[in-house]
Chain A
Amino acid sequence: MSIIETEKLTYTYPGGAKPSIRDVSMKIEKGEFVLITGPSGCGKTTLCRCFNGLIPHFYQGEMEGEVTVVGLGVSKRQIYELAKHVGLVFQNPENQLFALSVEKDVAFGLENLGVPREEMRKRVDWALNLTGIYHLRERAPHELSGGQQQRVAIASVLAMQPEIIVLDEPTSFLDPLGAKKIFEVIYDLNRKLGITVVLVEHRLDLTARYANHIVIMDDGKIVLDGEPRKVLSSEEARLIGVGIPKPTRLYQILQKDRVSLSNTIPLSSDEMAAMLREALESQ
């Protein structure tokens, strides 16, 4: 059974004129690294809120269809039950942080789960180190910069080591090198611990290389769903206005120019450089 499954999911926010997501049916398998992308306002964030029960329990509104997460029907379960399995990193870190120190914020979820003190200490330090904010542990989250707050939000979810981590543009305030390091940490957890990752991102240049499953949404619907190389090289993806990684774009252009290149579509500069090197050396 899939770890996340939605069946004809349609949802309208209270007071919303029309549904934010419509007729969404999708499956996410355990251990996948899924990238959800699509134009601004297409329903990506709304879909993520369905995975941990914030929709419908917190936001109310009108939901049709069903979401099943680790076998639990989201509409019939409480948020606290789902939180044991799904960690959500919000788009705006300020909506998530509230404690008086970074350390307390990161420990909060573990306290609620009743994790023993020693274990809690270990996990908090582990998460603070992974996200590079150990030195900030005694600072107040609301005094930190946007980028630092995002690291705290990520640490507080990582500390809980949930089976599924859902991240909604988690590094938008971070500098490129900082963002890259965070994505690598998440990728590492995905591969080594088998944590299922659902990442919402516009910047495919930074993230496409990590994904083994891409979902593209447009106007509340899923329009493309599948293997990254296939999805990103499709004409539809370009027409929707998804930011195809530049190396992939360059490959497509050179293909049209009838340049001899191998058939594996590159998703990163490294892959494209290796391919060009091969072509240049063989001639």
Chain B
Amino acid sequence: MIEAKDVCFTYPNGVEALKGVSLTIKNGEFVAIMGENGAGKTTLVKHFNGLLKPIKGSVLIDGVNTTKVSVATLARKVGFVFQNPDHQLFSETVEEEIAFALKNFGFKEKVIERRVKWALNLLGLARYRKTSPFMLSGGERKRVALASILAWNPKILMLDEPTIGQDYSQKEKLLQFILQMKAQRKTVIIVTHDVEFVAECSPRVLLMRGGRIVADGEARKVLADPEILTHASIVPPQITQIFLQLSDFHLPKEVIDVYEAREKLLSVLKVKAK
């Protein structure tokens, strides 16, 4: 469980990134943190693995204050995949990259081998096992970064912009994977601008603006509120935008998914005779 109480953080250059954030994320929750550039999203999640410590307030991970433990200790529990994979990758082959943390955590050779294989297959990287991460495309490097964290099976997984450079089928796989993690009662936190992805996975949405949380709720509620969204530089999902424009036909506005949209529309639209 993650408990943040009135967390404030100011960077050395004077930028006040968090201005009192309080929240609780329970085990097994799937949370999307959204909001404009500079809202404090990445700063907030960096508090969850202890990379940053609050200047005021506190962050507890499973009841332990992050100021009391090292980042290395927290890392075993909280995995963080960076926004830009190039900030994280350094090994000569994809395989070594994924095995690196496992070796550091002291896993046995056999376990390492099995886990690396599992992660490579999961993210469709098996054919690049011996390739340098730097030979890969942007989207593929992003998946190597993800694989290297997944391999040690952290209890809390944080992904900063996981869908960047990913095509539709990769996003679909990512979604399936997140649902699987959820079923295992793992906590998944994504920081994202990808409204369509969020609409498809329907997590709890935390909307941030100017270092504060301005909305917290189900995806369909938060994403169908144009006023609050525009305030946070987010646009509603495409399907919601359609329904927002048709509000004078007594259609619901909280529709975020294509199939749900079909259902609602079929109930009001005439169908051609066969």
B69 partner residues in chain A, CB cutoff 8 A: none
Bound complex: CA A16 to CA B137 (Å): 13
Cα–Cα distance between A41 and B234 once the two chains are bound (Å): 28
Which residue of chain A has the shortest Cβ distance to B270 in the bound complex?
A283
**Complex CA–CA separation, A59 to B173 (angstroms):** 32
Give the shortest distance, in Å, between B152 (CB) and chain A (any CB).
24
Q: Inside 8 A of A203's CB, which chain B residues have their CB?
A: 194, 196
Per-residue CB proximity of A80-94 to B under 8 Å, as 1/0?
A: 000000000001101
Tell me, yes or no, whether A56 is within 8 Å of chain B by CB.
Answer: no
Judge if A130 is at the interface, Cβ distance under 8 Å: no
**Chain B contacts for A143, CB-based, 8 A:** 13
In the bound complex, how far is the Cα of B196 from the Cα of A5, in angstroms? Answer: 34
Asked whether A41 and B136 contact (CB < 8 A) given A173-B83, A180-B235, A258-B274, the answer is yes
Nearest opposing residue in chain A for B271, CB measure: A258
User: What is the distance, in angstroms, from B131's C-beta to the closest C-beta of chain A?
Assistant: 8
User: Residue A250 at the B interface, CB < 8 A?
Assistant: yes
Q: Is A194 an interface residue (CB 8 A)?
A: no
CB distance from B95 to the nearest CB of A (A): 16
Q: Is B104 an interface residue (CB 8 A)?
A: no
Complex: how many Å from CA A41 to CA B259?
Answer: 30
- For residue B202, CB closer than 8 A to chain A, the reply is no
CB-CB nearest in chain A for B142? A40
Q: Are the C-beta atoms of B246 and A175 separated by less than 8 Å?
A: no
A276 touches B234 (CB 8 A): no
In this assembly, does A176 line the interface, its C-beta being within 8 Å of a C-beta of chain B? yes
Q: A40-B137, A257-B271, A258-B274 are in contact. Are A280 and B246 (CB under 8 A)?
A: yes
Residues of A within 8 A of B269 (CB): 254, 259-260, 276, 279-280, 283
Please name all residues of chain B whose beta carbon is closer than 8 Å to the beta carbon of A92 when the two chains form the complex.
Answer: 84, 86, 138
The answer to whether A276 touches B139, judged by C-beta atoms less than 8 angstroms apart, is: no
- Contact of A178 with B167 in the complex, beta carbons under 8 Å: no
| A75 CB → nearest B CB, Å | 23
How many chain A residues sit at the interface, stated as a range, is: 35 or more
A243, CB-defined interface residue at 8 Å:
yes
- Listed stretches A115-123, A157-165, A267-275; interface member: A267-275
Q: Are the C-beta atoms of A205 and B196 separated by less than 8 Å?
A: yes
On whether A173 and B164 interact (CB within 8 A), knowing A91-B138, A178-B36, A241-B169, the answer reads: yes
Query: A247–B272 Cα gap in the complex (Å)?
Result: 20
Determine the chain B residues whose CB is within 8 A of the CB of A258 once the complex forms: 271-272, 274
B165 touches A40 (CB 8 A): yes
Give a binary string over B159-171; 1 marks a CB under 8 Å from any A CB, 0 the rest: 0010011111111
Question: Chain B interface: which of A27-35, A66-74, A145-153?
Answer: A145-153
Q: Could you give, for residues 138-153 of chain B, a 1 whenever the CB lies within 8 Å of some chain A CB and a 0 otherwise?
A: 1110010000000000
Task: For residue A2, give the distance in angstroms from its CB to the closest CB of chain B.
Answer: 27
**Residues from chain A with Cβ under 8 Å of B171 in the complex:** 243
Contact with B along A179-199 (1 / 0, CB 8 A): 110000000000000000000
Is there an interface contact between A175 and B258, defined as CB atoms closer than 8 Å? no
Considering only residues 5-40 of chain B, those with a C-beta below 8 Å from chain A are: 13, 35-38
Residue A38 at the chain B interface, CB threshold 8 Å: yes
Residues of B within 8 A of A141 (CB): none
B245 touches A45 (CB 8 A): no
Give chain A residues whose Cβ lies under 8 Å from the Cβ of B262. Answer: 250, 253-254, 257
- The closest CB in chain A to the CB of B172 belongs to A241
Contact call B245/A241, Cβ cutoff below 8 A: no
In the complex, what distance in Å separates the CA atom of A255 from the CA atom of B169?
Answer: 24
Q: Are B245 and A277 in contact (CB under 8 A)?
A: yes
Partner of A169, one of B143, B165, B172, B195: B165
B44 contacts across to A, CB distance below 8 A: none
A94 touches B86 (CB 8 A): yes
The chain A residue sitting closest to B166, CB to CB, is A40
| Contact digits for A183-221, partner B, Cβ 8 Å, 1 yes 0 no | 000000000000000000011010000000000000000
- The residues of A that contact B271 with a CB separation of less than 8 Å are 257-260
A39 within 8 A of B: yes
- Which of B57-65, B105-113, B236-244 binds A? B236-244
Q: List 16 additional contacts besides A39-B170, A268-B238; criterion CB under 8 Å.
A: A13-B135, A15-B135, A40-B166, A92-B86, A145-B37, A174-B193, A175-B193, A176-B235, A178-B36, A178-B233, A179-B193, A241-B168, A242-B168, A253-B262, A259-B272, A269-B242
Ranked 3 nearest A-B pairs via Cβ = A40-B139, A241-B169, A269-B241
Q: Residues on B close to A: CB < 8 A?
A: 13, 35-38, 83-84, 86, 135-140, 143, 161, 164-172, 193-196, 230, 233-235, 237-239, 241-242, 245-246, 249, 258-259, 261-262, 265-266, 268-272, 274
Could you pull out 29 A-B pairs where Cβ atoms are within 8 angstroms? A13-B135, A39-B167, A41-B137, A92-B86, A94-B86, A146-B84, A173-B161, A175-B36, A176-B193, A176-B195, A202-B139, A202-B166, A203-B194, A205-B238, A243-B167, A245-B238, A246-B237, A250-B262, A254-B262, A259-B265, A259-B271, A260-B270, A269-B242, A273-B245, A276-B246, A277-B245, A277-B249, A280-B268, A280-B269
